[in-house]
Amino acid sequence: MLLSAEHITKYQNEKCILEDVSFAIEERMKLGLIGVNGVGKTTLLRILAGEEHLDSGRIIQQNGLRVHYLPQNPRFQEGKTIYQCVLDAVNEKQREACTFEIQTILSKLGMRDYEQTVEVLSGGQRKRVALACALVSECDLLILDEPTNHLDNDMVEWLEHYLMKYPKALLMVTHDRYFLERITDHLMELDRGNLYLYDGNYETYLEMKEQRSQMEAVQLKKRQKLLKKELAWMRAGVQARGTKSQSRIDRFYELRTQCRAKQDETMQSINSITSRLGRKIMEITDLRMGYDNKILFHDVNIRVKKRDRIGIIGPNGCGKTTLLNVLSHNLEPLSGEVVIGETVKLGFFHQGDDQMDLSMRVIDYIRNQGDQIQTTDGSRTAAQLLEQFLFPKQLQYTQIKRLSGGERRRLYLLKVLIASPNVLFLDEPTNDLDIQTLTILEDYLDTFPGVIITVSHDRYFLDRICDSLFVFQADGTLREYAGGYSDYIARQAAEPDLQTVNKSRGKSRAERSSIPSFTSSERREFESIDEVIAGLEAAIADIDHQMESRQDQFDEIAVLADQREKLTRDLDLKTERWMELQEKYDAIQAARKGR
């Protein structure tokens, strides 16, 4: 055993974030720590790293235990170069042998100018340098707080494979569910001061969490039944209240607190009313953009259609955020144009806190959108919406600057969603959001009737949300791939290597001119099939809604079930046909590029 926590308790102001918690970390164990934003995950990491004190309990460490902690916002001594900072994390005797490893890790993390001094680096670059320090350090326990933030997709995949082979104990807080699935063998969930332990990875956690939730639901039902009985007892004989059993009175108040806490702990989705979206949404023609004589992207042509779910990926600094700003008319391109339809109501979820006045109170920030906000469930006050998004009343009058980074992102997300947009731009929406909030966001986006365009490095999020990806190429163009991130990776692996492509370019003119093409009927079908699929999906959703509202009308449910089965078969056939046409379209585009 490397480390054990025994009956530890920790308060932040008046809030108990750890209550009599005990656990142990063994050698080579790979632990994930999860929980909603603001619950105290970072505080627990700091306690284990020796940077935060306990109110009670104790931490027992193995003699000579070496711990390295990667914080969310690392600091460095000014004046030092990137290379010097990483070298400082290595034992003096090992420095000469680690030179190649340091250079490799820095290169993989996109830091190639080793002589840059740290004070000129951005926050994201500092985080990557700190991550390099963590990976080269000689330690027995590596503690990482959101290690994938500020990494692009290639870096995240490299880090994932690195940590899968990591020979020491690992404890990390991350929202990256593929990370948790592929790296961890144990998970800890921090929930209202309690710590729940799960043996297994993220998939195992979901199964065990569901079992625990079902058991807690049964217990809650029993408590509510008992509470109803105790409430009747409390109301009876008010004049004789002084003769009532004090222990029973105390039990009544404890039961009421438990029931309320359990009902309030789950974040709810916001069913905002979305503005009507017309046929014309967005047309991007010959877009070209750059700064300081450097072209970020060029020849970008995209026609955005109803219910499009578009992901944009590429290495850091390639221009993904710039592209979103150009599409939203926040920036003027060097050439080309972006035509936005008259009915488009854009919601833009930006990176960082720049869009927030940190001196404002939480409730005033939402009230700026309106104190009465219309949703599909009826009118809601700002206070009610905040409670749905896990901002209890005592937190609503706090200044935004006092919130954790994840709580600020959750608050900003609420502000964007309640504005009823029909086109959503999401710039790294998963950064600093906890898994519960991410799940709610993904559920919301599943039923969102408008268009979603997102920049993200979260592979799970891209797989869950996107039906196409636009990938930045080395030459500044964007290439479209059908499907989510896993589909893109599979397509890349299946593509011929560069040598084969070069050989194909040497073929005769007659062979090169033999390019596949759509027939006129196929072209019409390809242009309309997205709307047909969307119509079938909407019809199935409508039947699901009817079945839910007629749960006791068995004859009608049977008829609706038959209709749903037929629509599902039609949807499967149309989806297969769409895949065939999309493959042919991709083949046509690839053949034209190879001419």
Q: Number of C-alpha atoms within 13 angstroms, CB side, residue 271? A: 7
Six-digit token string for 590: 């690839």
The yes-or-no answer to whether 3-204 and 282-495 have a common fold is: yes
| pLDDT for the residue 540 | 86
Domain residue extents for the chain: 3-204, 207-264, 282-495, 503-593
| pLDDT for the residue 244 | 52
Six-digit token string for 335: 């050439």
Q: Considering all CA atoms of the chain, what is the largest pairwise distance in Å, rounded to the nearest integer?
A: 103
Sign of CA dihedral 112, 114, 116, 120: positive
Residue 450: how many other CB atoms lie within 10 Å = 22
Six-digit token string for 571: 């949807």
Residues of the chain with pLDDT under 70: 216-217, 219-220, 223-224, 226-275, 376-377, 495-516, 551-555, 592-595
Question: 390: Cβ–Cβ under 8 A, 6 or more apart, which residues?
Answer: 36, 265, 267, 410
Question: 373: Cβ–Cβ under 8 A, 6 or more apart, which residues?
Answer: 272, 379, 380, 381, 382, 385, 418
Q: Are strands 346-349 and 423-427 parallel, antiparallel or unpaired?
A: parallel
- Cα 34 to Cα 435: distance, rounded to the nearest angstrom: 8
- How far, CA to CA in Å, does 126 sit from each of 78, 103, 541? 12, 16, 46
- Smallest CA-to-CA distance from 313 within 494, 131, 480 is with 480
DSSP string, 516-554: ----HHHHHHHHHHHHHHHHHHHHHHHHHHHHHHTTT-H
- Smallest CA-to-CA distance from 420 within 547, 270, 522 is with 270
What b-and-e string marks burial along 535-546, b requiring 16 or more CB atoms within 10 Å of the CB? ebeeebeebeeb
| pLDDT for the residue 323 | 96
Burial bucket for residue 169 (CB in 10 Å: 0-12, 13-18, 19+): buried
| pLDDT for the residue 507 | 45
| pLDDT for the residue 511 | 45
Domain 3-204, CATH homologous superfamily name and number: P-loop containing nucleotide triphosphate hydrolases (3.40.50.300)
Contact 124, 150 (CB under 8 A): yes
CATH for 282-495 is: 3.40.50.300
Q: Which residue has the tokens 């460490």?
A: 61
Residue 420 Rama label (left phi>0; alpha psi -120 to 50; beta): left
Six-digit token string for 355: 């869009």
pTM attached to this predicted model: 0.70
For helices 554-593 and 520-549, give the axis angle rounded to 10 degrees: 150
| pLDDT for the residue 211 | 77
| pLDDT for the residue 262 | 47
Q: Give counts: helices (H), strands (E), the chain.
A: 20, 20
